[in-house]
Structure 1
Amino acid sequence: MNYTILVTGSAYGTQNASTAFLFCQSLVKTKHKLYSVFFYCDGVLNANSMTTPAIDEFNLVQAWQELNKKYNVKLYVCSSAALRRGILDDEEASNLNLKKGNLAFCFQLSGLLELAYSIEICDRIIQF
C-alpha cells in the first residue's frame, strides 16, 4: 500500500510531527511504501535548518533528513507556508540579499499541486 503523510504540526511544541515521524519509520520498515511527506502550515518548521534542540533532545529535523537518505522518501515543504514562517531556500534568500537560506538539506520547496499529485497516486493519506 502506498502512503502520503501530511504533517501540519511544528517540529517542537506539539506531538504531531514526532508521531508522524514514528509512523513513517514504521511504514518504511514494513512492506508498505511511503511515497512522500508533505509539510504544511506549521509543519514547515520541520524543515528549518536553524532548529537546534538541546543536546539531550531528539533532533527531529535531522531524523527527517536521515529518513530521506536511507529510504529515499520525498520531503516536500509548502513554499507559501514556508515563506510566511521564514523558511527560505537559497534562491529566496538571495532575493532578500541574504547569503544563505535556512531550508534544511533533503527538504524541497513545493506547491499544493505536488500534494494533490501525491494524494492521487497513493492509496492513503494520513494527516498529523
Structure 2
Amino acid sequence: MKFVIAVFSPGHAPSSRRALLFAQAALAGGHEIVRLFFYQDGVHSASANVVTPQDENDVPAHWREFVTAHQLDAVVCIAAALRRGVLNDEEANRYQRPAANLPVPWELSGLGQLHEAAQSADRLVCFGGD
C-alpha cells in the first residue's frame, strides 16, 4: 500500500510521535511512503533550531534520522514555514533574514505537493491539527 503522511502538529506533540511510529511501522510492513508533508505547526519538526529538553524524546531529530535513513520525500509547506520562521537558505536570503534553519533532508514546497501525492497514493493519513 502507498501512503502519504501529513503531520500538522509540532514535534513535541504526541501526534507527531504517533505519525513517526506509524511511518516506521508502514515501512517495516513493506508499504511505501509516497511523501511526508509537514503543514501548519508540523513545520517546526523540520527546524534545525528546535531544542528538546534532555529528559524528553527528541522527535524532530528522530524524524530527520528517519527521513535521511530511508531517503524519503519530506516536504515542508512553504507558506506555513515562512509564517513560523522556518527558512531554507534561499528564503532567508529572499526575505533578508539573518539565518536559515531548514537543513537537508527537508524541502520547501507548496500545498499542491500534498494534493499531488494524495492522487498517487492509496491512503492519505493525517496526524494532529484541530
TM category, shorter: over 0.9
**What's the CA shift for 1:104?**
3.2
Task: Return the letter of the residue paired with 1:11.
Answer: G
Matched, 1:103 2:102: yes
The share of aligned pairs that are identical, in percent, is 33
Q: Distance in 1 between matches of 2:93 and 2:6?
A: 29
The two structures, once aligned, show a CA RMSD in angstroms of: 1.2
**Farther off after superposition, 96-105 or 113-122:** 96-105
Structure 2 gaps, min length 5: none
| Residue 71 (structure 1) aligns with | 70
> Which secondary structure does the structure 2 equivalent of 1:53 belong to?
coil
Task: Return the letter of the residue paired with 1:4.
Answer: V
> Which secondary structure does the structure 1 equivalent of 2:21 belong to?
helix
Q: For residues 54-65 of structure 1, what are the structure 2 equivalents within 5 Å?
A: 54-65=53-64
> Which secondary structure does the structure 2 equivalent of 1:37 belong to?
strand
Structure 1 gaps, min length 5: none
Instruction: Give TM-score scaled by structure 1 length.
Output: 0.93
Contact 1:49–1:105 (Cα < 8 Å) also in 2 = no
| Residue 2 (structure 1) aligns with | 2
Task: Return the letter of the residue paired with 2:7.
Answer: V
1:15-37 deviations in whole A, cap 9, x for unaligned? 11111011101111111111111
**What's the CA shift for 1:62?**
1.4
| Residue 122 (structure 1) aligns with | 121
1:85-125 deviations in whole A, cap 9, x for unaligned? 11111111122333430113211101011111100000000
1:60-79 deviations in whole A, cap 9, x for unaligned? 12111111122121110000
Q: Distance in 1 between matches of 2:96 and 2:39?
A: 26
Q: Distance in 1 between matches of 2:95 and 2:73?
A: 27
Task: Return the letter of the residue paired with 1:30.
Answer: G
Q: Distance in 1 between matches of 2:27 and 2:113?
A: 21
